[in-house]
């Protein structure tokens, strides 16, 4: 193996640049030639491939987003598009590829390797933290810290005006951001896709808080909530609960941006280095992840098909700590 490529795909996540940097510098140290594929699979199809030297990844470890850009690719979903992508990789004599992304990225990589034989190693890059085979994904810690900072500011105005705030965080199919943010901000309730909703129970909790003269309440809602996200839940509560003025705040894509935290930079750096070593060792169709602070490799097929089980203890803690 002499020439490898790296790309970022799917939604951007803080720490992706740190991962790209680690891949480039680790590969160069091993005497490999490294190429960056711009705009994910679509860029692979269109030949947007450029050589990356150490100086190209200088001063990017602290930057959010991805210098390689990212894009969705419908063309890659059909055999003709994948053939064009293979032809482009072949033109650059690429021997192996490192893909930073999520389930969709790894699904495409697994199919591509089976069809054309080029080995892919994956790095988990998604703020949702929903990938099986790793305790944490690149970008998750930054997204949670961004949400916590925003909610801490909302708390000030909620306290001043005796308001009930429903705060929506990202996570269409995953409640990890909401769960961790809710615990860290002392929320009175956390609503996530993984747990059946109990609006009546939430109202009882809020009324108990009001009876104890609690001046305000915060409820964190994952955007994938089955009852319509923060707006849908707030409307239902408002109909039966008039102790507080009810407000809704949607943090949105703010969580995707910003400088990555120390944890995300270190995670991306460790996994980037490990991914290069994995290609050199002959691994393929596997994701590098971190479990119990150790780098492990999980087949793409398992990452895609296995559900990451949310800790029951963490869900219990949100209810216990909300009783004050």
Helices 140-161 and 176-185: angle between axes, nearest 10 degrees: 50
Dig out the tokens for 98 from the structure: 């490192």
Cβ neighbours of residue 236 closer than 8 Å, sequence gap 6 or more = 199, 227
Q: For the chain, what is the radius of gyration of the CA atoms?
A: 22
DSSP string, 73-136: -SGGGSHHHHHHHHHHHHHTT--EEEEEE-HHHHHHHHHHHHHH---EEEEEB-TT---TT-SS
Dig out the tokens for 315 from the structure: 């869900």
Which H or E run contains 263? helix 262-280
Q: How far apart are the first and last CA of the chain?
A: 59
* 3-state SS assignment for residue 237: helix
Dig out the tokens for 217 from the structure: 């309440």
Alpha-carbon distance of 293 to 214, in angstroms, equals 40
Alpha-carbon distance of 229 to 219, in angstroms, equals 11
Which H or E run contains 291? strand 286-291
Q: Indicate which residue of 12, 93, 110, 128 is catalytic.
A: 128
Side-chain half-sphere CA neighbours of 45 within 13 A: 19
Cβ neighbours of residue 200 closer than 8 Å, sequence gap 6 or more = none
Alpha-carbon distance of 143 to 106, in angstroms, equals 22
Does the annotation mark 128 as catalytic?
yes
Cβ atoms of residues 297 and 285 within 8 Å: no
Which residues are the active-site residues? 128
């Amino acid at each position: 193996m002499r020439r490898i490529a790296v790309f970022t795909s799917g939604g951007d996540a803080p720490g992706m640049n740190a991962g790209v940097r680690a891949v480039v510098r680790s590969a160069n140290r091993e005497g490999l030639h490294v190429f960056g594929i711009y705009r994910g699979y679509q860029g692979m199809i269109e030949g947007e491939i450029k050589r990356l030297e150490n100086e190209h990844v200088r001063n990017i470890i602290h930057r959010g987003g991805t210098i390689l850009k990212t894009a969705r690719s419908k063309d890659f979903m059909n055999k003709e598009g994948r053939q064009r992508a293979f032809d482009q990789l072949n033109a650059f004599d690429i021997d192996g590829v490192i893909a930073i992304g999520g389930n969709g990225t790894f699904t495409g990589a697994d199919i591509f390797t089976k069809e054309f034989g080029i080995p892919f190693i994956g790095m988990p890059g998604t703020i949702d933290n929903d990938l099986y085979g790793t305790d944490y994904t690149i970008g998750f810690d930054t997204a949670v810290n961004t949400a916590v900072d925003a909610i801490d500011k909302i708390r000030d105005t909620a306290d001043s005006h005796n308001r009930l705030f429903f705060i929506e965080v990202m996570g269409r199919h995953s409640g990890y951001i909401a769960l961790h943010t809710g615990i860290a901000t002392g929320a009175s309730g956390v609503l996530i896709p993984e747990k059946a909703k109990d609006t009546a129970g939430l109202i009882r909790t809020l009324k108990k808080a009001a009876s104890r003269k609690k001046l305000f309440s915060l409820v964190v809602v994952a955007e994938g909530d089955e009852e319509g996200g923060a707006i849908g839940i707030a409307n239902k509560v408002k109909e039966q609960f008039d102790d507080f003025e009810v407000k809704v705040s949607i943090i949105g894509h703010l969580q995707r941006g910003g400088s990555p935290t120390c944890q995300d930079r270190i995670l991306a750096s460790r996994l980037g280095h490990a991914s290069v070593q994995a290609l050199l060792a002959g691994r393929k169709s596997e994701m590098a992840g971190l479990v119990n602070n150790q780098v492990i490799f999980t087949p793409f097929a398992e990452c895609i098909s296995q559900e990451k089980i949310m800790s029951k203890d963490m869900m219990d803690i949100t209810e216990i700590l909300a009783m004050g």
